[in-house]
Amino acid sequence: MRGAALTLGLSSLALALFPQFRPFFFFDPTHPMETMDAAAPAVISGLWRFAHYLALIGFVLLLCALPALHARLAAAGVEARARLATLLYGLGVALILPTLGVELYALPAIGRIYLAGNVSIAPAVSLISRVAAPMYCWGSSCSPSGPSCWPSPWPGAARSPGGPASSTRSG
């Protein structure tokens, strides 16, 4: 169990550091040109890549720790709840990882093309946000704390970077 605790701790650390390094920018899929003006420099930066690799590592480590957590909870007499929690967290991670892939690989490619002068690529951001944002919301809905894409109780703030209810939503 000690190894699983270390894995879970490293996962938590990586996921906690993700928003600390990730560049944020105005994101409105209904205005792709303005969005790309703000987003392109951010999504091609090294910080963008570093932050998203942290998140990717954090989620993979979480998946690695889930079996040990399930075993520990099952031994404590809550087998059914442990099984459900493991299933939901695994499903949530499986739905969030493709969105991370889009942010890690597709958005930087679009940003480089946009900055090279091909502004006709900007509407691709709207298409990506229509696919990636619902996947992110569905994935985060599997968390017992509820969807992280729900609006924040504080005006002008989102519970999560990337939630579609946010005016500061990114990638």
> Residue 2 class from Cβ within 10 Å (0-12 exposed, 13-18 middle, 19+ buried)?
exposed
pTM for this predicted structure: 0.71
Q: What percent of the chain has pLDDT over 70?
A: 75
Least trusted range by pLDDT, from 10-14, 85-89, 100-104: 85-89
Residue 14 or 130, more confident: 14
Q: Which residue has the tokens 């480089």?
A: 112
What does the alpha-carbon distance between residue 104 and residue 109 come to, in Å, rounded to a whole number? 9
pLDDT value of position 134: 58
Residue 159 has pLDDT above 50, yes or no: no
pLDDT at 84 over 90: no
Q: How far apart (Å, rounded) are the C-alpha atoms in residues 56 and 22?
A: 13
CA–centroid distance for 12 within its chain: 14
pLDDT bracket for residue 2 (50, 70, 90): confident
Residues 111 and 39: beta-carbon distance below 8 Å: yes
Where do the structural domains in the chain lie, given as residue ranges? 2-141
Burial letters for 59-68: b for 16+ Cβ neighbours within 10 Å, e otherwise? bebbbebbeb
